[in-house]
Amino acid sequence: MFDTTVKMLKLAAFSAVSAFLVATSPAPALAQDVLNLKLGHIQSEQDLWHFGAQKFKEELEKRSDGKITLTIYPNSTLGGDRDLVEGMQMGTVDFGLIAGVLGNFAPSIQLLELPYLFKSQDEFNKIVQGPIGEEIAANVQQNANVRILNWWERGSRQVTANKPITGIEDLKGLKIRVPEIPAMVTTWRAIGANPTPMAWSEVYTGLEQHVIEAQENPIPFIYGGRINEVQKFLSFTNHKYEYVTLTMSDLRWNQLTPEQQTIIVEAGAAATQAENEAVRTQTGEMLKKMQDAGLQVSHPDTAPIAAAAISAHEAFAAKVNPDLYNRIIKTLGR
């Protein structure tokens, strides 16, 4: 009798929760309605992320004859990377431009965050545009309930600091801001630096107030974030070939019609092409503008830095997905 009562109570509770979810979930978009979507990212309107987001908006609205509109929220208006992912999981955010923080929700993607794993943009693209990239995207969808639509290029990451970085000795004990990404914390610690995870929205002030001594990012990100105003030295470490994903809430995706889904896929592809081309053509111009404003550039010996970083790869991969790591290495011909 007791077991039967418990089962009935559980069934009633489940029914109540189900009814609440149905009542509070957004209704599937009807073909004749105007679908208003939201995209958030952490960068400024001067960054190429925002340019790509605007291209995505333009393509969505053009291809749908105005039946799909997009509002873009830059500058962490909807929160940091983690907030955006959680918003997509709940359906309060439709799209996000998200990079390595996805690894906190789907660990396998963290392997792409290991400094000096890739030696060129072509090597990175070979992985993410092939079967391994598809597998990683599937893992993200399964574990985080967000859908990677496209991989956008950002260029390679460089270090800015309060002093020139001429070699690995200059990195020893350096308090360097890194994203909230375990793979980067682990490898920068192996290099000998003092990695300090920090949200991007806090970096400018952190550098200005000397809470941190350095940061690392691609040149367009450094330019868009005006980091050269608070750091006068940039060192070409090329330690990571960078990306950001155009990512969509799986909850929202499943509410769309097949026609709307097709429009989003096609608009995403067009935006990706435009953003990647902008990175390739404008990075040099951005660097020159910062140099003209006083930024000093150095080219350190990166071989010892790379060796120290790589020494931490296998141990980190063993905790995440050693099989996937080994297949990446094999695909790269190492």
pLDDT of residue 239: 97
Q: Does residue 311 carry a pLDDT above 60? A: yes
Instruction: Please spell the DSSP secondary structure of 91-130, one letter per residue.
Output: TS--EEEE-GGGGGTSGGGGGGGSTTS-SSHHHHHHHHTS
The helix (run of H) or strand (run of E) holding residue 276 is: helix 258-292
**Tens-digit pLDDT profile for residues 98-153:** 988 898 899 999 999 999 999 999 999 999 999 999 999 999 999 999 999 999 99
Query: What is the number of structural domains in the chain?
Result: 1
| pLDDT level of residue 32 (50, 70, 90 thresholds) | low
Structural domain span for residue 66: 31-320
Residue 57 inside a domain? The answer is: yes
Global pTM reads 0.83
Average pLDDT over residues 262-269: 98
**Tens-digit pLDDT profile for residues 39-84:** 999 988 988 999 999 999 999 999 999 999 999 999 999 999 999 9
* Inter-residue contact 157 to 227 (CB < 8 Å): no
Q: Does residue 33 carry a pLDDT above 90? A: no
- Written as six digits, the tokens of 200 are 């991007």
Cα-based distances in Å from 108 to 129, 133, 156: 16, 10, 21
**Tens-digit pLDDT profile for residues 186-233:** 999 999 999 999 989 899 999 999 999 999 999 998 998 999 999 999
Q: What is the DSSP letter of 160?
A: E
**Tens-digit pLDDT profile for residues 276-300:** 999 999 999 999 999 999 999 999 9
Residue 295 inside a domain? The answer is: yes
CATH assignment of the domain containing 220: 3.40.190.170
Residue 11 inside a domain? The answer is: no
Q: What is the DSSP letter of 311?
A: T
Closest among 160, 145, 90, 156 to 121, alpha carbons compared: 156
Residue 58 inside a domain? The answer is: yes
**How many residues does this entry show for the chain?**
334
Residue 17 inside a domain? The answer is: no
Q: How far apart are CA 79 and CA 81, in angstroms?
A: 7
pLDDT of residue 42: 93
Residue 38 inside a domain? The answer is: yes
Q: Which residues pair with 70 in a beta bridge?
A: 37
**Tens-digit pLDDT profile for residues 154-181:** 999 999 999 999 999 999 999 999 998 8
Residue 112 inside a domain? The answer is: yes
